[in-house]
Chains A and B, each alone.
Chain A
Amino acid sequence: MKRAWAKAVIAIAVSVATAAALSPFSTPEASASPPARATSETFPVTITSGSGKVTLTAQPTRILCLSASATQMLYSMGAGKQVVGVDKYSTWPPGTPRTKFTGFEKNAEDYLYLHPDLVIFAFSEGTLVKQLQLLHIPVLVLPPANNFAGVYNQVNELGLATGHIAAAKRLDTSLASYVAASVRKAGKDGRGASYYIELSPDYYTATSQTFIGAEFSLFGMRDIADAAGRGTAYPQISAEYLLKADPDYVFLADTVCCHETPAIFSHRPAFSLLSAVKQHHVFGVNDSVASEWGPHTIEEFVGFLARVLASTTRK
């Protein structure tokens, strides 16, 4: 038995000695790309965001953006050259420096090889933010917006943080104009029409208290989930509830995760009785419309909704 102990201790000592030398962590220093040039406006700036007050002493030139919505905002306002990394969910615009990061890493050390001077999150339970603060790296947390005012606020905050105040204001104005034009284009067909937005095939949905709900509300549409959403903005309803509510429109935001299609939905038991199915008002949309609030996603979805409502007649 003593020999077993001795072997174990020797094995441990040898493995520890070699661990440092052969560590898979031994990433070479990232080649420090030249700092991006951007229009510098008044720095230092202090921003109050979801992570509290953040002071940026100089214009950030190496931004790590771990929020797909914030990535859209940054690139739309012309701050893309200052971005050195985005999370794996940032699919727009193409050509961004995508990483494997999700924003839910366990250790902020993972980010250091990019030498970020500003890190942006949509969600964080706190440890990552605190670790970055201890490493003297400024952090902005921009949590999910629940309405358009929240989106415009976040665009302004990012404009202030990146030195693109004027461009951010222009982005807000153009987004608001586009949304207003889309609502005009849809006309009055959507007013009072009911809808069901499906987040997963097991009937998880979103109420009008969410951002996607706010987009539908622009067109005067009525969410069938509101009556079910007691205490939660993301209730799970039943097929029976859906049949009883009989929405005028159905939007499937589970086409990517779960490969849902209008045809599959229509073939669920008894769903042929739904008005939306009978009138071919079942539409598949990208899952991201329910989880992102960036200007690109908003324009795509609001534009799509306007086209749908303009081209269909409710029952």
Chain B
Amino acid sequence: MTLTARPGLDRAGTPHLRKAEAALPGRELFPTRLRAWHIAAGVLFLLCSLLASVLVGPYHLPPAQVLAALASKIPLLHVRSGLGALGNADVWQIRAPSAVLGGLVGAMLAVAGASYQGVFANPLADPYLLGVAAGAGLGATVAIVYGPAAWASSLSPLPIAAFVGAVAAVAATFTLGRSRNGPRSPASLVLAGVAVAAFFTAVQTFIAQRQNSGDLEVVYNWILGGLSTAGWAPVELIAPYVAVSAAVLLACRRLLDALSVGDEEASSFGVHADRARLVVVVAATLGTAAAVSVSGLIGFVGIIVPHTIRLLAGPSYRRIIPLSLLFGAGFLVLANLAAGAVLSPEQIPLGVVTAFLGAPFFLVVLRQSRRMG
């Protein structure tokens, strides 16, 4: 048993689970309570990342003037930035939206990854497990190749097409993953996801390889991921989805603790495993689809962040989910900063940076946690 045996620790828990916990002996096997300093560390990390992302960019703007520009937006603080029209447009229309977008995408991918790992009881599960990436890739490719020019309309068709593609792929996975005489098992869902992803990827490749080099480069640029934004439209587009998905997943964190030990054990607590899995997967998938639709495919965040949190804070999803949200957001904002800085003015694909930064950090944390016992 890997659950907390102390009832009533978390008011967000479901009645079933609280009842089940109440029946368990009162002994805590591993820490589950989220401490205030955990949250404080996460918030500090995220704020520092956002600040660095707005202060630093390829075009040199005096940091003091950027800080003044930020302060000028605080009500009652009558501060003048000193930045010209170009600098102000740069800070408020490119850097700030890009930083916020990075936060939203990073938070969503990390929390979705953690949730998938919980519902599938699989440490290698990531947000793309059920075909989101392949579906979004196909949608984006169709929009790039056959859609109107992105600059020709105020609303770009690309994120909408990517979102539709992602949702279509996961819907296909759910339809195909249902067993003939029973509920969807994690294994059948994963296998259906593999098949659907392979099919969508094949169609995407077929369309892409028939285009000229320019369109092909645009497609691959999108697939490699990035947080380049022009204005706040992408942020406004995905914020509602990310907010709702994150809220649902935060509310389900106790269910995830139950599901992570297996369906039968979860049932003994009164948890309906199939129904719980559906709620969590739908929430994680919708949020991931929204994130991917504007950022392209950014790998590794959904694995590295939850596992790092798990190593530092313990295996309870009551800690992992909220902390993945905060640290995932900060991590991707910093990764995006590094993607632009390392070979400036060239930009390294963001997915490359997330793997480059994430993998060694993960190994260091792993070693340290082993040393600490």
Contact = CB atoms under 8 A, between A and B. Distances in A.
Interface stretch (A124-132, A177-185, A189-197): A124-132
B45 A144 contact: no
Given A4-B312, A20-B52, A112 B210 contact: no
B12 interface: no
A106 B347 contact: yes
Nearest to B341: A24
A144 B345 contact: no
Interface stretch (A25-33, A76-84, A258-266): A25-33
Secondary structure of the B side of the interface? helix
Interface centre among A101, A109, A112, by most chain B C-beta atoms within 10 angstroms, is: A109
Interface in B260-277: none
Contacts of A52: 151-152
B342 interface: yes
Interface in B196-232: 209-215, 217-218, 221-222, 226, 228-231
Contact of A12 (B45, B63, B337, B339): B45
A286 interface: no
Contacts of A100: 345-346
A13 interface: yes
Contacts of A13: 44, 48
Contact of A109 (B94, B144, B158, B215): B94
A56 B110 CA distance: 45
Given A16-B52, A25-B344, A106 B228 contact: yes
A225 interface: no
A220 interface: no
Interface stretch (B70-78, B84-92, B125-133, B178-186): B84-92
B372 A1 contact: yes
Given A107-B340, A107-B347, A112 B44 contact: no
Contacts of B86: 112, 135-136
A122 interface: yes
Which of B60, B158, B372 gathers the greatest number of chain A CB atoms within 10 Å?
A: B60
A81 B365 CA distance: 56
Interface string A139-175: 1010110000000000000000000000000000000
Contacts of B339: 106
A126 B156 contact: yes
A49 to B, nearest CB: 10
Q: Which of A27, A105, A127, A134 has the most CB of B within 10 A?
A: A127
The CB with the most chain B CB atoms within 10 A, among A51, A101, A125, is that of A125
B149 interface: yes
Interface in A223-238: 231-236
Contacts of A271: none
A232 B211 contact: yes
B229 A135 contact: no
A286 to B, nearest CB: 15
A125 B344 contact: no
A27 B38 CA distance: 37
Interface string B340-360: 111011110000000000000
Contacts of A20: 52, 55-56, 63
B292 to A, nearest CB: 16
Contact of B312 (A5, A133, A233): A5
Interface string B45-67: 10011011001111110010000
Contacts of B341: 23-25
Interface in B73-112: 85-86, 89-90, 93-95, 98
Contacts of A38: none
Contacts of A29: 60
B52 A123 contact: no
A19 interface: yes
A214 to B, nearest CB: 14
Contact of A4 (B60, B158, B368): B368
B150 interface: yes
A110 B60 CA distance: 10
Given A20-B56, A28-B60, A101 B345 contact: yes
A110 B57 CA distance: 8
B56 A123 contact: no
Contact of B214 (A21, A136, A144): A144
Contacts of A2: 37
Contacts of A92: none
A201 interface: no
A130 B231 contact: yes
A19 B337 contact: yes
B41 interface: yes
Nearest to A67: B214
A84 B362 CA distance: 44
A104 B216 CA distance: 11
B57 A25 contact: yes
5 contacts: A19-B337, A104-B221, A105-B347, A106-B226, A110-B58
Closest 7 CB pairs of A and B: A126-B150, A130-B230, A123-B214, A232-B210, A112-B59, A110-B345, A106-B347
Interface of B: 37-38, 41, 44-45, 48-49, 51-52, 55-60, 63, 85-86, 89-90, 93-95, 98, 144, 149-152, 156, 158, 209-215, 217-218, 221-222, 226, 228-231, 312-313, 330, 337, 339-342, 344-347, 365, 368-369, 372
Interface of A: 1-2, 4-5, 8-9, 12-13, 16, 19-21, 23-29, 50-52, 99-101, 104-110, 112-113, 122-131, 133-136, 139, 141, 143-144, 210, 231-236, 291
Given A23-B56, A101-B345, A107-B347, 17 more contacts: A5-B312, A9-B44, A24-B342, A25-B344, A27-B60, A106-B226, A109-B95, A112-B86, A123-B215, A126-B156, A127-B150, A127-B228, A127-B229, A130-B231, A134-B94, A135-B86, A234-B210
